[in-house]
Chains A and B, each alone.
Chain A
Amino acid sequence: MKKTVPLLIVILGGLIFVAYAFSPHKFLQDDFYNKFYVPWSYASAPFGALLGIISLSMMHSSKIKRRAPKWQFSYFFFIGFIATALAGLIGGMQKGGLLMWMFENMQMPMSATMFSLLAFYMASAAYKAFRARSLEATVLLAAAIFVMLAQVPLGVKISRHLPTISQWILDVPNLASKRGIALGVGLGSVATSLKILLGIERSYLGGGD
């Protein structure tokens, strides 16, 4: 009951979805997918988001309670969360409101800066890779340098052939490797989906009875 019924839901529902992907029948395309699955998914989805919010809040409140390392900063999590949630729930999401002001002047600059920080760390990672002095690392770095230089005016100043070489790297060896990997990932994901569909893979149901 505790595991068998959810498993049956996945297997039977999954098989209907396989039929949905192959058959253009009205029952599958309209009644099952558009009228049943899509609205039911939307109706249950907000609670999944709520689960994540509660889980993160519990983690931070427990950090404060236990006086874990850097616990004081968990208060900033709650300040940010409560202020944004109140701004949005009371003031709405329209442009010019407090929520969008916070999004544009706090969230957006911080996340863009956080990603831009990676430029420095990727540069240091490249340096470490070069220090490895293996032929593979050198090939990797040479390809990266060609691609990077071709995108800036300095690259064209060094050699007018650089953009052509970079485009060839992207169109030929890069395409071949990405295609090989995509085929492998595709085969792997189909095999995993089949394992779930046949009830062999059950880890998503969690442990216990």
Chain B
Amino acid sequence: MSFELFSNLVGAFFTLCIFSFLYKDNPFYQMSEQLLVGISLGYGLVFTYERIFIPFVWQPIVFKHNFILIIPTILGALYLFRFSRKLGWLSRYPIAFSMMSVGMGVPLGIHASILVQMRQGMVPLETVNLFLIFIGTIAVLLYFFFSKAHSGTYGKFVNVGKWYMMIGFGASFGMTVMARISLLIGRIQFLVNDVLGLLK
């Protein structure tokens, strides 16, 4: 048995283990589910060690003698006090340090999510489509404005927002289903072509 065939058989075994859930919850699925979590976490640990800890902590401190980085290293280590009942409060310091970047989120959030969207929405309504987009955006926004009762003419207009959202959710649903189906086709192609060698 070649090494490539062995590798493909391992992949096929775990693929079938996961697919077995379609029949019902079973030990093969449970086993591969936990194995997947373990392998992903192990990969995450190695990735963090090799790509973050070594180049940004170990090498600057040990080889470049950038000793100031010992402070954030200790700060990071305070995360681990989360498990202590008495000293758990120490873990608030690294959390607070990472939360500082929220300040950047205010102007950048206003720019990316509000100003850019408003600029794109407030263009001359030269075509029917642009008019429909403008009306839809206003109606969707008003649908989430609860300070005024959704009744009368206003309620009817706000209801238009609901229809727009239903079409939007449907489109997102369709795109997601197609993405999942393309993954499914990929897995079936793997089983049929790479493992069984039926469609070469």
Contact = CB atoms under 8 A, between A and B. Distances in A.
Interface string B52-82: 1100110010000000010111011111101
Nearest to A93: B50
B48 A49 contact: yes
B93 A9 contact: yes
B10 interface: yes
Secondary structure of the A side of the interface? Answer: helix
A123 interface: yes
A130 B22 CA distance: 22
Contacts, number: 411
- Size bracket, chain B contacts: 35 or more
A6 B95 contact: yes
A106 B170 contact: no
Interface string B115-156: 001101100000001001111111111011000000000000
B129 to A, nearest CB: 5
Contacts of B102: 10, 14, 17, 193, 196-197
B60 to A, nearest CB: 7
Interface of B: 7-8, 10-12, 14-15, 17-19, 21-22, 27, 30-50, 52-53, 56-57, 60, 69, 71-73, 75-80, 82-83, 88-89, 91-110, 112-114, 117-118, 120-121, 129, 132-141, 143-144, 161-178, 180-181, 183-184, 186-187, 190
B100 A13 contact: yes
A77 B114 contact: no
A112 B139 CA distance: 38
